[in-house]
Chains A and B, each alone.
Chain A
Amino acid sequence: MYKEKLKFVIVGHVDHGKSTLIGRLFFDTNSLPAEKIAEIEKISKELGRDVEFAFMMDHLQEERDQGITIDTAQAFFHTDKRDYVIIDAPGHVEFTKNMITGASQAEAAVLIVDVAEGVREQTRRHAYLLSMLGIKQIAVVINKMDRVKFSKQRFEEVTDDVLKFCDSIGIKPMQILPISAKEGDNVATRSSHMDWHAGATFLEMLDKFTVPSKPADKPMRFPIQDVYKIGDKRILVGRVESGTICRGQDVVFLPSASRSKIQSIEQFMKPPLKSASAGESIGVTLENSLFVERGQIACAADSQPQITDSFKASLFWMSRQPMTADEKLLIKCATQEIAIKGCKIHRRIDSSSLEIIEEEAAELRNNEIAELTITTKAPIVVERFYDFPELGRFVAVRGHDIVAGGIITP
C-alpha cells in the first residue's frame, strides 16, 4: 500500500549547485505549490536576480541575501517508484558540521561538481565524510554544463579527476551524469544539448539507488534506553539496532555480563509480540529481576561484541576550540555514555587533501581528522564500524555540545 522511502543527500563544494538542483527538480516535476513558486519568483526579483531555484531550500533571509546555504534542510519528493527525502547540505567549510548533520541521515548521496571549477577543497572533504558516514551508494553529477557550452571534452576531463579522487578513498560512483541545474538539462528531462551522453536524467537516476535493508539477520543488539516501572512490571525500553529479539530468548547484558531470558515484548493497548527486529522501538520484560539500566546492551548470548577500555578510531573534529589529547571528553555510542581517560593521536590529517599534518600530535583542530587510540575510564561495548555500524560509531561531547564524530577502526 505504501511506497518505499529513500533518503539521499546532495553534497559538494560551495556554489556548485546543490540547492539549485533540488529546486529545479521540484519545479520541473510540478512538485511545488503555486504560492511557493510565486514567493520564490518575487524574492528573486526583489534581489534583482533570475529565478533562483535554490530558494526552494535556502529559506533563511541570510541565505537568500548572500546566495549561500547555511544549514541543512530536507524536502519530500516522490516518483512513481518511491518516496524520497532529499537532504540539502551546505557546501561552505564553515558549515561542515551542518553538512554532517544532514548527511548522517542519508542512505545514498549525490556528489555535485561544477564543470568549470572541477574538484575543489569541499568536494574532497565531503566525499571523505560520506565514506566515514558509511554511505556506499554515491552518484556524481557534473553541473553547470551550460557554462562550458555542453562540452563533452570538458565533461570527460572533470569526470576523470573525480574518478581518480574517488578511487583514492575507496568510493565507486554508481553513475556520472552531466547536467545543468539552472537550465534544467538532464534534470527531469533529457537535454537536447548533450546528444553525446546516452545516460539517464537525474530523475531517472534516483530510482536506480536501492533502499538498504535493515540489519535483521545480524546478531541481536538491543541497547537499553531506559527502564520504566509500569504497574508491577519493569519494562526495559530501547530500539533493536540489529538482529531479532524473541520471547524466551537468552540474552546477556554487557558490559556487566549478567544473563536473563526475555519474558515478554510489550506493546501499549495491543497483545505482546513474539519477536521484534532491527529498527523497532520496543519494551521488554525479563524472567528474573536483574538490575538493568540505560547504557547496557542486551545481546544474543551466543554472539557477543567486544568489551574494551581502549580502541582505535578515526575522529572528525567539528568545533572551533581544538581538542587536546588529554582532554576529558565524553563518548556517546548508542545509549552508552562513557568518559574518556585520554587519547593518543597517532596522526592529524587534513580532511580535504587527506595529507598527514602531524604524527603523534597533542591536539586536533576544527575540520581535521585524527587516527587515534581512545582509552576510556570504564569498559565500553564496541564493534568495528565497517562490520557493525550501529555500535561502531560514536560522538564525542564536551560540556553540553557534540564536538566530534568517530568510527571504530581495526
Chain B
Amino acid sequence: MNILDELESKSIYVIREAYAQFKKLALLWSIGKDSTTLLWLARKAFFGKLPFPLLHIDTSYKFPEIYDFRDKYSKEFGLRLIISQNEEALAAGMGPEASDKLACCNALKTQALKMTIAREKFEALLLGIRRDEHGIRAKERYFSPRDSEFKWNYKDQPPELWDQFKSSADDQTHLRVHPLLHWTEIDIWRYIQRENIPVCPLYFAKNGKRYRSIGCHTCCGPIDSQADTIDKIVEELETTTTAERAGRAQDKESAYTMQKLRALGYM
C-alpha cells in the first residue's frame, strides 16, 4: 500500500463505521474538492450505491460554477441530494453585506443545517474537514458529538483509540463524522490526480488567478496562480508557503473566529 492507499483505506473504514452505527446519515456536500473527494470515497465504500443522501446547504451566494457542478454530478452519479436554504433569513435580506460575516455564516449555514437536521432527523453527518486546514481543526475527533444547540464541547472531547469511536448519540445530539481528518491539502490533490476525480473548475487558474478554497463568492478570494491543471496544482502546493484558507474572510476577523464558529456548530 502506498500513502494514498493508506489514507483511502482509513477513510473508507470510518465511513463504514458511521453507517454501521447510524442509518439516519447524510454526507454534507459543499461541492468543494474535499467533500467531493469524500463523496468519491463513500461511493467506493458502498460500491457505487450510496445508502444515504447528500446534503447541500445553499446560502444562495455560491459561485455559479458550484451550482453547475452540483447539478451535473448529482445526475451523473445518481445521487439523492437534499438542498437546504434558510429561506426565512434570505427573505429578510440576510447576506454578508447586510450584517457582519459571522452572523451571515451563522444564519445561512449553521441555522440552515440545524433546521435540516431537525426536519430529516439525521443522527450523524459526514463532513470533509481535515486537520491541516486550521489549528482548531487539528484538534478534532473522527466522531465528534454535538448537542441540540450544536455546541462543540472542545474542552471535554471523548477519547478515541484503536479506531473505536464514540457510539450512538441519544436524542439530544448528532455526531459529526470526519473521514478525511488525516488528509492534507496536497494529499487530496494527489488523490484527485490519481483517481481522476472531477472537481469544480474554480480551482483551475484563469487569467492568473485560481481559488484554493471555494464557498460563497462574497467571502472567497482567488490567489495568484498559473496552475490550470491538476498536475500544476500539485506542483504549486509542493512549494507554496501560504495557508490554504488565506483567501477566506471568516478566518481573518480575529484569531479565535474559527474556534467560536466551530463551537457554535459551524461546518
Interface of B is mostly: loop
Tell me if B139 and A100 are in contact (CB < 8 A): no
A267 to B259, CA, bound (A): 39
Cβ of A401 under 8 Å from chain B:
yes
Identify which of B47, B160, B168 contacts A266 (C-beta below 8 A).
Answer: B47
Tell me if B138 and A73 are in contact (CB < 8 A): yes
* Interface size, B (range): 35 or more
* Chain A binder among B10-18, B24-32, B104-112, B216-224: B10-18
Tell me if A35 and B47 are in contact (CB < 8 A): no
Identify which of B13, B159, B170 contacts A281 (C-beta below 8 A).
Answer: B13
CB of A181, distance to nearest CB on chain B (Å): 19
- Residues of chain A within 8 A of B166, CB atoms compared: 400-402
Cβ of B97 under 8 Å from chain A:
no
* Interface size, A (range): 35 or more
Tell me if A237 and B16 are in contact (CB < 8 A): yes
Tell me if A59 and B139 are in contact (CB < 8 A): yes
Tell me if A2 and B3 are in contact (CB < 8 A): yes
Closest to A36 in B: B243
Whether A225 touches B242, Cβ cut-off 8 Å, given contacts A70-B155, A76-B184, is: no
Interface of A is mostly: mixed
Cβ of A52 under 8 Å from chain B:
no
Tell me if B167 and A400 are in contact (CB < 8 A): yes
Closest to B17 in A: A225
Tell me if A230 and B155 are in contact (CB < 8 A): no
CB of B248, distance to nearest CB on chain A (Å): 12
Chain B, 18-57, CB within 8 A of any chain A CB: 19-20, 43-49, 51
Which of A269, A335, A400, A401 has the most B CB atoms < 10 Å from its CB? A400
Cβ of B158 under 8 Å from chain A:
yes
One digit per residue, 1 when the CB lies within 8 angstroms of any chain B CB and 0 when it does not, for chain A 97-140 equals 11011001000000000000000000000000000010000000
Identify which of B2, B13, B45, B243 contacts A33 (C-beta below 8 A).
Answer: B243
Cβ of A51 under 8 Å from chain B:
no
Using CB atoms and an 8 Å cutoff, list the residues of chain A in contact with chain B.
1-5, 30, 33-36, 39, 42-43, 56-57, 59-62, 70-76, 83, 85, 97-98, 100-101, 104, 133, 214, 225-226, 228, 230, 235, 237-239, 266-269, 277, 279-281, 283, 294, 318, 332, 335, 393-395, 397, 400-402, 405
The 9 A-B pairs with the shortest beta carbon distances in the complex, nearest first, are: A59-B135, A104-B161, A73-B138, A281-B12, A97-B159, A281-B9, A33-B243, A395-B164, A2-B3
